[in-house]
Copies of this chain bind each other. A is one copy, B any other.
Amino acid sequence: MRATVLHAPRDIRLDDVPAPELQEDTDAIVRVVASCICGSDLWPYRGIKEVTSPVRIGHEFVGIVEQVGATVSTLSPGDFVIAPFTFSDNVCLLCQRGVHTSCVNGGFWGAKDKQGHAVDGGQGELVRVPWADGTLVVTPSQPSEALVRQLLTLSDVFPTGHHAAVSAGVTAGSTVVVVGDGAVGLSAVLAAKRLGAGHIVAMSRHEDRQRIALEFGADQVVEERGKDGAAVVREILDGIGADFVLECVGTADSMKQAMLSARPGGRIGYVGVPHDVELNVPAMFARNIGLAGGVAPVRSYIEELLPEVLAGTVTPGSVFDLTLPLDRVADGYRAMDERTAIKTMLTI
Contact = CB atoms under 8 A, between A and B. Distances in A.
Interface of A: 93-94, 97-99, 101-102, 167, 238-240, 243, 263-265, 267, 270, 273-274, 277-279, 281-282, 284-295, 297
Given A239-B93, A286-B294, A297-B288, A99 B264 contact: yes
A94 B284 CA distance: 16
Contacts of A243: 97
| Copies in the assembly, this chain | 2
A267 B239 contact: no
23 contacts: A93-B239, A93-B240, A94-B240, A94-B265, A98-B265, A99-B263, A99-B264, A99-B265, A101-B264, A102-B265, A167-B288, A167-B290, A270-B285, A273-B285, A274-B282, A284-B291, A285-B294, A286-B294, A286-B295, A290-B290, A290-B293, A291-B292, A292-B292
A204 to B, nearest CB: 23
A278 to B, nearest CB: 7
A290 B166 CA distance: 12
Can you list the 6 inter-chain pairs with the closest CB atoms, starting with the nearest?
A290-B292, A102-B264, A99-B265, A288-B294, A285-B294, A99-B264
A56 to B, nearest CB: 21
A297 B274 CA distance: 30
A192 B113 CA distance: 38
Given A97-B265, A263-B94, A285 B292 contact: no
A54 B281 CA distance: 28
Contacts of A94: 240, 263-265
Nearest to A98: B265
